[in-house]
Structure 1
Amino acid sequence: MAITPNHTLDKLRAGKTAIGFGIHHLRGPVAGALAAASGFDWIFIDMEHGAMSVDQASAMCVAAQGQGVTPIVRCCRDALFEGTRCLDNGAMGVVVPHIDTAEDAAEMVRAFRFPPQGMRSWGGPPIQYGYRAPDTATAQAETNAHILLCGMIETPEAVANVEAIAATPGLDSLMIGTSDLTATMGIAGQIGHPDVQAAYARVAAACAAHGKVLGMGGVYDEVWAPKYAALGARFILGGSDHSFLMAGASARARFLAGL
């Protein structure tokens, strides 16, 4: 039984860009279908700020398996067990916020990769195998190679430690959480501030040196997004269901009000 491909991870490994559709309010199987229909590569199921349960997140992950988008969850750093349960039930990647040290990064890898790379527990064959896996050793090795792990850089401490974080085996990507980074720098919302530009350059250099993909979150305008993408950001969060709905609904309301 072949494992379901991780198309987002395949694109990133091929040097291409993969864009994500953030899910904060949507629930159920429609989420992934809407993201795919809109041209996105992956769904970002936000369990850090969204109110969905593991059950709701897993249902969206299972549905996404056949919708052409890669289901990726974000769990809180102190709730890694939620990410593990989602991986056992359909998720194909995990993003963890506030990875400030190499020790934080190593803890994340231990939680989400099977031995010998980590200490994830085997819960039986998941949906990626249609619930019918080959022998356990083969399934665990294939799963390790097919899940995407991304740590978020969101504080000055993380930027200062980024070379060591990027050197951590088992991580695929480091995503700058630009909103939280500006807040912890004392320049909340100033995504083009020189200090933010310097942070992007330093994280980009560390990613390039250690074979990690630079990720970008919290940059949605048409001024700074191209500049940071030019530094190598290819794992890009494109926005959330909330912002997409507000933008589309607001534009429609303006049009109709002007008739």
Structure 2
Amino acid sequence: MMVRPNVARRRLEAGQTVLGMGVQQVTGAAVAGLALRCGFDFLFIDIEHSPVDAAAAANISAAALPLGIAPLVRVPGKNSPDISRLLDGGAQGIVVPHVDDAVEAAAAVRACKYPPLGMRSFFGLQPHFDYARHPAPQAMAAANDELLCIVMLESPRAIANADSIAAVPGVDVLLIGSNDLSLELGIPGQLQDPAIESAFAAVIAACKAHGKHAGLAGIVDPALLRRHIEA
């Protein structure tokens, strides 16, 4: 069965670090090729903090798929009704913001993944399969294998629950929202504060314990980012 591979997922499973480019003010599909040329592994298409809408996200995602750069979309909220539409439109991963506990993480999985992992509704004509029809059971299994369900931890409560969140079947990545976390801790923008460092360590430990992947968002200082990658 021909399904577009999720390059970011494959590299994570191989133990590699992946880097993404945020898409927040650009709605043209050409951004996919530009990101690939710059050496990124995935696009972080942001509907939460930008004017990019679902239609633009789908156009960018469909353009990214044949290029081999994974389109990931951050939805506006953890109860977003657009998750299924964005996945049907070409996204290979959904980033669910402000997930604070295992119950919310499990809800994210249900929205993102087909049965038996989730409850996503099936649509047969998807760009992931070059719009070819395939039997539903095989297509759903193949789609689940390529999808990344990414939950964002952005509060002290989420950090305290990192282990139980990481234990949720179907969650693939725990992504730390560094800026909102620093706001919640009362130290806005102080991303080298010991409290932030401790939160990073807790999430990384939880991911290692449960075979999940840890991610960092909001860090733009190359030296700081490199230090955390190499830690």
Query: Above 0.5 in TM-score?
Result: yes
Higher relative contact order (CA 8 A, sep 6+): 1
Paired residue for 1:3?
3
Cα contact 2:78–2:97 (8 A) shared by 1: no
In structure 2, the residue matched to 1:240 is: none
Distance 1:152 1:42 in 2: 17
* Aligned residue number for residue 217 of structure 1: 217
* 1:80-132 deviation digits (Å, cap 9, x = unpaired): 32122110011111111111010110000000111111100012231111111
Question: Does residue 1:125 correspond to 2:128, yes or no?
Answer: no
Aligned to 1:202: 202
Cα distance in 2, alignment partners of residues 133 and 147 from structure 1: 18
Question: Who wins on radius of gyration, i.e. which is larger?
Answer: 1
Q: Letter of the aligned partner of 2:126 in structure 1?
A: P
Match of 2:227 in 1: 227
- CA–CA distance in structure 2, aligned partners of residues 222 and 124 of structure 1: 42
Q: How does 1:167-178 map to 2 (within 5 A)?
A: 167-178=167-178
Q: CA deviation at 1:218?
A: 1.0
Taking the aligned partners of 1:93 and 1:17, their CA distance within structure 2 comes to: 17
Q: Give the secondary-structure state (helix, strand or coil) at the position aligned to 1:18.
A: coil
- Using the aligned pairs only, state the percent identity: 39
Kept in 1: contact 2:95–2:152 (CA 8 A):
yes
Offset at 1:53?
A: 1.6
Matched AA of 1:36: L
RMSD: 1.1
**C-alpha separation in 2, matches of 1:187 and 1:83:** 32
CA distance in 2, matches of 1:81, 1:123: 16
Gapped regions of structure 1 (runs ≥ 5) = 232-259
The 5-angstrom pairing of residues 32-47 of structure 1 reads 32-47=32-47
Q: Which portions of structure 1, spanning 4 or more consecutive aligned residues, are displaced by more than 2 angstroms?
A: 76-81
The answer to whether the 8 A contact 2:93-2:147 is kept is: yes
SS at match of 2:81: helix
Return the alpha-carbon distance in structure 1 between the equivalents of residues 216 and 25 of structure 2. Answer: 21
CA distance in 2, matches of 1:48, 1:221: 22
Specify the alignment match of 1:161 in structure 2.
161
TM-score (norm 2): 0.97
State how 1:1-259 maps to structure 2 within 5 Å: 1-231=1-231
Q: Is the 8 A contact 1:80 1:111 kept in 2?
A: no
